[in-house]
Chain A
Amino acid sequence: MNQEKYDVVFRLDIPATFKYLNVVSSSITAVLEQTSNLSERDTLIYNIILAVHEICTNIVEHAYEGKGGRINIEICLNEQPDHLSVNLYDTGNKFDFDSRDKPDMSEALVRGYGLFLVNELMDEVSYYPGPDQNHWYLRKEIV
């Protein structure tokens, strides 16, 4: 994963509060607007922004329990092959990625849409809890 050579890398270091998550959205839009041959560009950008936003929300709410902290984000665009990957790092509580419940979408749920949307909207979602920091890796083909 980290051996890949990226054409464009944006790095953000933001406070872990909901207030600043629109900055992440703007940065993803700026990176993807550099690509020229995206099909269904607006939908693709929207979907990636939403997936990354949901991970940030998860970090704010669960990793840091709303008490602050930082989120480090790398937005990486590689045109050979065409894909966007996003790495998100936090130093908060570890998330039990494997025991997460798959929501029952046959009924209207009041909670539980966040990670469902991330998994539906991205091609790869990985989580690596670590002793010093936790790492989310999201990848989306953008052909």
Chain B
Amino acid sequence: MEIKTRRVDNVTILELNGRFDSHTMPPVRDILQKAVLEKPASIVVNLESVNFIDSAALSALVSGMKQSRQADGDLRLCNLQQPVRMIFELTRLDRVFEILSGEDAAIEAFNNQDSTITDQ
């Protein structure tokens, strides 16, 4: 699996490509563990090119999401292919993660959240 990471507006973007499963999950988990140490711990995982996801990958994402929220950040998902989305629905993780239709919307959601906090 190909993994690309970049920072946009203080948000860490992970762009994954291919199978996200028990074999390919460990490097993603390692990147997430470093990303949650950033201030703010704002992470977007772009799954547009992920055509397969298994329970190990779900576990890595849940772990990253919980750690980022503990650091007052969040891990958001975007661009899920339909079969992948169905797995999130089946496990009810679609109610836990904030899932957006595009990467720009996911980044903007963080920026809006930041400005709300600043305004307060």
Contact = CB atoms under 8 A, between A and B. Distances in A.
Interface of A: 18-19, 21-22, 25, 42-43, 46-47, 49-50, 53-54, 57, 60-61, 105-111, 113-114, 116-117, 120-121
A19 B23 contact: yes
Interface of B: 19, 21-23, 52, 54-56, 58-59, 62-63, 65-66, 82-83, 86-87, 90-93, 96
Interface of A (DSSP majority class): helix
A134 B82 CA distance: 34
Given A43-B86, A49-B52, A57-B55, 5 more contacts: A21-B21, A50-B87, A57-B54, A117-B55, A117-B87
A57 B19 CA distance: 14
Contact of B52 (A18, A25, A60): A25
Contacts of B90: 117, 120-121
A105 B95 CA distance: 10
A12 B82 CA distance: 29
Contacts of B91: 105, 113, 116-117
Choose among A21, A46, A116 the residue with the greatest number of B CB atoms under 10 Å from its CB.
A46
Contacts of A42: 83
A53 B62 contact: no
